[in-house]
Structure 1
Amino acid sequence: MQRQQVLMSQLMDLTNELIWLNRPEMQSALKGYKLNEIELLEKIGLLTHPNVTKLANATYMTRGAISKLTKKLMEKELITSYQLPENKKEIYFRLTTQGEHINQTHQMLHQRFANRDKEVFTNMTDEEFDTVFRFIGRYREHLKKLPKSR
């Protein structure tokens, strides 16, 4: 059990260190926007026909939280809603030009951070990558089996 605790502690420390290191540049470049807004814009840009349910599943937020956040993003003119001709019941979202600009800035920052950290990954072997991917995959599968508290 000791190794498990050390591993989880180190993963949390790594995550917190990355957040601490990246936060000033993110806040400067994306001033006035909250992290959950930026992350939702990213998901809307990535998903095909994103709706409240798809966005809730992709962001680990509740559908109610997504509804509130999409209304807020629409008020800020970062997203718009639309319907498909064959399905007038469902409401989908897309980025506006302003929302796309924020999303592109966010993606540019991700790329800058990836370039900064490239040397760590350049020296990793395929076996090391595979081991990390297997661990993450097993852990995520385990978490998916746990009861949801949403």
Structure 2
Amino acid sequence: MNKEEQVITSFRNLLNKRASLDKFKMKDKFKGYKSSEVHCIEYIGRNVDSNVTKLAESFYMTRGAISKITKKLIKKGAIESYQKTDNKKEIYFRLTGQGKEIYEIHEKLHKEFQERDKVVFDKITDEQFDSVLNFVEEYSRHLDAEIKKLGVDITNGNDFE
């Protein structure tokens, strides 16, 4: 395996390990909610005037998939939709009281996970952080350019079918 493959595999394994480890606590705290639903709640809680398009772009999911998630969240009473008086075409989302509770629990868990992992991050120098961040940003820009070159709308579906 060359170094490029090692980097990509290492990033994938790292993210999978973190997701698996975090899932144990998340699953216990968010009974009745899927991970994608909790992350939509998080996004809506952090971003005013969230809509299907913004959510789809953020999660690299189709607008149809996001619509299904938001409909479930509305049915569960975690979010509500609204329209602006000057724009009756666009539908936006905001958290309900129940959604805010879920958001707060999620934020507390993230802080807990940060504390758990602090032992590693405390050892990293600013130069090492800068190096990793520069690489990730450069790679992300490259992928954005490739997406643009292909004229691909990644929110219109990314299945292999």
Which TM-score band (shorter chain)?
Answer: over 0.9
1:122 is aligned to 122
Deviation of residue 146 (structure 1)?
A: 2.3
SS at match of 1:80: strand
1:77 is aligned to 77
Deviation of residue 20 (structure 1)?
A: 2.0
Structure 2 counterparts to residues 1-150 of structure 1, below 5 A: 2-147=2-147, 148=152, 150=157
Distance 1:13 1:37 in 2: 23
Note the residue ranges of structure 1 that are not aligned, 5 or more in a row. none
Deviation of residue 63 (structure 1)?
A: 0.9
Q: TM-score, normalization: structure 1?
A: 0.94
CA offset digits 1:29-73 (Å, max 9, x no partner): 111210110111111111121111111111111111111111111
Q: With CA pairs under 8 Å and 6+ residues apart, which has the higher RCO, 1 or 2?
A: 2
Aligned length, in residue pairs: 150
Q: TM-score, normalization: structure 2?
A: 0.88
Contact 2:78 2:96 in 1 (8 A): yes
SS at match of 2:40: helix
SS at match of 1:146: helix
Distance 2:72 2:123 in 1: 43
Deviation of residue 144 (structure 1)?
A: 1.2
SS at match of 1:111: helix
RMSD after superposition: 1.3
Deviation of residue 103 (structure 1)?
A: 1.2
Deviation of residue 17 (structure 1)?
A: 1.4
* Identity percentage of aligned residues: 46
Q: Which amino acid aligns with 1:90?
A: E
SS at match of 1:48: coil
Note the residue ranges of structure 2 that are not aligned, 5 or more in a row. none
CA offset digits 1:117-147 (Å, max 9, x no partner): 1121111111001001001101111111223
Distance 2:87 2:23 in 1: 41
Distance 2:14 2:42 in 1: 23
| Runs of 4+ residues deviating >2 angstroms | 146-150
